[in-house]
Homo-oligomer: A and B are copies of this chain.
Amino acid sequence: MTVYFIGAGIGGIDYLTVKAHKIISQAEVIIYDALVDKEILEIASSECIKICVGKRGGEISTSQTSINHLLVQYAQEYNAVIRLKCGDPAIFGRINPELAVLRKINIDVELIPGISSALAVPFLANIMLTEKDNSRCLTIITGHDPNILNWSILSQVDTLVILMGGKNLSVITQKLQKYGRSSDFPIAIIKNGGNPKQIQWKGTLKNIVEKTVNISLSPCVIVIGKVVN
């Protein structure tokens, strides 16, 4: 009885790790997030039980308590249960409550990292997040609740990568300018990074909202820093 917490990476099978591929192909149960690529689920056998517990902003979703219950229930009944998360579970994967309930009842847990969209999406869009002089310091945040973040610090880091920030773009760009970033500071938004539908916008803190008005930006990665140019 082991529950494998696996990062599915940024899209199809190509960006999965060899280890994740092997474990998924032997899985009995997969409990997965909404954005996980269907191609990856098809690696598993047809007998594998596949349960979507996706949480998407605004939509009806499975509660954390229900996910915890599902994990405990299947972990007690099956030997190879996978909790499949998008990207890398280390980065805003919110797996602590799930780990806690499993460890409480002595279920073995194995952690398997994945390719994080925070790093890979800008890289595949030809934006180098670190650079000798322009970017010695890289900071990653989520943008889903900008009001709880410390913008006086965030406005000073060389390069800022924001996950889940599409719908709060306007607040984010305002906060950064309020705390001292110049209005012509560069910003890029990459939507559907790493897959054929990838699209990106570049601009400044002042004009990016106007450039993307009326466009649904999620799922996207936002990069703010001199490395964008």
Q: Would A111 and B123 count as touching, CB distance under 8 A? A: yes
* CA A13 to CA B17, docked complex, whole Å: 9
Among A65-73, A149-157, A210-218, the stretch in contact with B:
A149-157
Q: Is A130 part of the contact surface with B, judged by Cβ < 8 Å?
A: yes
Q: Give, as a whole number of angstroms, the nearest-CB distance from A112 to chain B.
A: 9
- Known contacts A17-B9, A137-B154, A138-B140; is A131 also within 8 Å of B96 by CB? yes
Q: Would B129 and A137 count as touching, CB distance under 8 A? A: no
> How would residues 163 to 194 of chain A score, 1 for a CB under 8 Å from any chain B CB and 0 otherwise?
00000000000000000000000000000000
> How would residues 124 to 139 of chain A score, 1 for a CB under 8 Å from any chain B CB and 0 otherwise?
1010111110001111
Chain B hits for A136, CB < 8 A: 141-142, 148-149
Q: Would B138 and A124 count as touching, CB distance under 8 A? A: no
Q: Which A residues are closer than 8 A to B by beta carbons?
A: 9-10, 13-19, 21, 88-96, 111, 113-116, 119-120, 122-124, 126, 128-132, 136-142, 148-150, 153-154, 156-157
